[in-house]
Amino acid sequence: MPATPLQRFWYLLKLLGWDYFEVLKPHGVTSFKYLNMQKAEELVDYLQGEWSSRSKRPRGTVIHYLCIMPNYDFKTIENEPNYEKIDEWVNKKFGKPLNKLSLSELNKCVSAVKGWYQKEIKKTA
């Protein structure tokens, strides 16, 4: 995660795929030049919450499908998700780890994993 509140603001906007004006105006900021550090930190908290809530389900779906994938080992010996292997697969397919994918990339990842799962199920049936 970037260091300053303004860097985190831009980073989270990119992950969410939102335009900055969509966020500034409802929070009482009419222009980016009037955005102070305190307001930037408030907006970062808001964006972080939005990112967490909007990305939780698709990330969980990806993890779930990879863990139930037949003939592949995406779980640890303790039957928990192997996040290293999951991130390795996601990074190979999408060029970055699962928690760094934007919402649109997450949706593509969900579709890819579901499609792959359906193919694997047909092979084993």
pLDDT at 125 exceeding the cut of 80: no
Q: What is the pLDDT of residue 1?
A: 61
Q: Are 65 and 75 in contact (CB under 8 A)?
A: no
pLDDT tens-digit series, residues 9-40:
889 999 999 988 888 888 888 877 777 888 88
Give the structural domain span for 57: 5-124
pTM for this prediction: 0.84
Q: What is the arithmetic mean of pLDDT over 53-73?
A: 94
Quick: pLDDT tens for 73-114: 899 989 999 999 999 999 999 999 999 999 999 999 999 999
Total domains in the fold of the chain: 1
Over residues 50-58, mean pLDDT: 95
Q: From CA 67, how far away is CA 25, in angstroms rounded? A: 42
Q: Are 102 and 17 in contact (CB under 8 A)?
A: yes
